[in-house]
Amino acid sequence: MIKKYEPIFKPFTFPSGITIRNRILMAPLTTASAFENGMVTQDELAFYEKRSGGAGALITACAYVEKIGKAVAGGFSADSDKMIPSLRKVAKSIQGKGSKAILQIFHGGSMVSPQTIGGETPVSASAVRAARDWTVTPREMTEQEIDNVIKAFGEATRRAIEAGFDGVEIHGANMYLIQQFFSPYSNRRTDQWGGTLEKRMRFPLAVVKSVLNTVKKHAKNPFLVGYRISPEEAEEPGITIEDTFQLLDKLAEENLDYIHLSIGELWKGSIRNKEETEPLLLRIHERIGDKIPLIGVGSVWHPDEVLQALEKGIPLVALGRALIVEPEWVQKVQKGRVNAIRKSLSAQDKEKLVIPDPMWEGFSAIPGWLPIREDQ
């Protein structure tokens, strides 16, 4: 190992007591490769197995907690006890070479296409269409439906425990249902679940409490609970960094293991105020300090970028695209073979890198998202 990279391989212990062997996690990546009924396919399992053994923990693609929350065609399910054997296969595929397995759980809300839920109308905090061209206007959830979803997050957590996962990540980002309740853009309610900032925080916090109570009741061993968050929204009115600070203050009072940002670039500044160039990652780190470990993420390709984050006090870094392109990224850094890290890929590499067809088709359709070369 090159000596300067030693900090990357220092073990880290979360508040729950779980220790990972280095400071790298695999970010959740949309594999879109499950069966229609929500059970995982062999292709999906092979994708995780190929990337096990490097990063200290792998966070899965998002698993829906209710069928009406299935926002990804080919997404896998945590909505029924029938899915526990399927989930167990995912956990084992990740843990086989020593990485910890974290199940990301979510509900898509208004980001769900009717096509993925049998033609039903998606639901959300309010009947406000998401700011995406392909979405439809959702139906406002009833109080009973809200209560059911909160319980569904707890039940999905129980299934993760029974399936042998090491933790769950609550997906409160990327314009999905939890964020929709927090956002003044998508939450126009006037009851206990909307209106003021305090009321808009109630649903995210209720989900967190549901998950934590489930862990307390069912987990016999240490079990991680993380929370993913999008710090700002471009929509008007939208979530501001000041709103997020208030939510983070509340989350810091809970027994969470980490906060995982969802931002496209590690050192990205405000998307609402272009004059505010200080990285959101550092502003959030300053706000929460050491109350909750923070995971930085976003276009990280080289170990020097990981070092830079660690040197600024960020304890953990998640890699996404870098681990698609180079499944042995961590191992190569550890062996001092940084120059051998794959920096691009082609369609001919897909099979060797164990990338499922739907995943490849989805990501390669986004111009510039992956460094894809045209091999002759």
Q: What is the pLDDT of residues 111-153, one digit of tens each?
A: 999 999 999 999 999 999 999 999 999 999 999 999 999 999 9
Residue 297 DSSP label: E
Tell me, yes or no, whether 376 lies in a domain: no
Region for residue 289 given its phi and psi (left: phi exceeds 0; alpha: psi -120 to 50; beta: otherwise) = left
Which of the four pLDDT bands, split at 50, 70 and 90, describes residue 1? confident
Predicted structure pTM score: 0.98
Task: Average the pLDDT over 190-202 and give the result.
Answer: 97
pLDDT at 375 over 80: no
Domain assignment of residue 375, yes or no: no
Query: How many angstroms from the chain centroid is the CA of residue 323?
Result: 15
Spatial CA neighbour of 94 closest among 323, 357, 283, 365: 323
pLDDT recorded at residue 280: 98
Non-local CB neighbours of 366 within 8 Å, separated by 6+ positions: none
CA-angle at 260, arms to 310 and 16, nearest 5°: 85
Helix (H) or strand (E) holding 197: helix 197-200
Residue 372: inside a domain: no
371 within some domain: no
Instruction: Select which of 48, 64, 176, 185 is catalytic.
Output: 176
Whether residue 234 has pLDDT greater than 90: yes
Closest of 317, 62, 81 to residue 179, by C-alpha: 62
pLDDT digits (tens, 9 = 90+) for 265-289: 999 999 999 999 999 999 999 999 9
DSSP E strands in the chain: the ranges are 12-13, 19-20, 24-26, 57-59, 63-64, 76-77, 100-106, 123-124, 139-140, 167-172, 224-229, 258-261, 294-297, 316-319
Mean predicted confidence (pLDDT) in 306-318: 98
Cβ count within 10 A of residue 43: 16
pLDDT at 331: 98
What pLDDT is recorded for position 336?
97
Residue 110 lies in a domain: yes
Residue 365 CB contacts under 8 Å (≥ 6 apart), including other chains: none
Counted domains in the chain: 1
Distance of CA 177 to the CA centre of its chain: 14
Confidence grade of residue 376 (pLDDT, cut at 50, 70, 90):
very low
Q: Is 64 annotated in the active site?
A: no
Note the pLDDT of residue 42. 98
Residue with token string 């670039």? 265
CATH of residue 239: 3.20.20.70
Query: Which pLDDT does position 105 carry in this prediction?
Result: 98
pLDDT band at 218 (very low <50, low <70, confident <90, very high): very high
Closest CA to 244 of 224, 210, 272: 272
| pLDDT one-digit tens code per residue, 64-80 | 999 999 999 999 999 99
Identify the pLDDT of residue 348. Answer: 92
Q: Establish if 280 belongs to a structural domain.
A: yes
Q: Which sign, positive or negative, has the C-alpha torsion 6, 319, 201, 76?
A: negative
Q: Look at residue 194 in the predicted model and tell me its pLDDT.
A: 97
The number of residues in the chain equals 376
Average of pLDDT values for 225-248?
97
Domain housing 340: 3-364
**What is the average pLDDT across 331-342?**
97
What mean pLDDT value characterizes the chain?
Answer: 97
Work out the average pLDDT over 250-264: 97
Residue 101 pLDDT greater than 80, yes or no: yes
Largest CA distance in the chain: 61
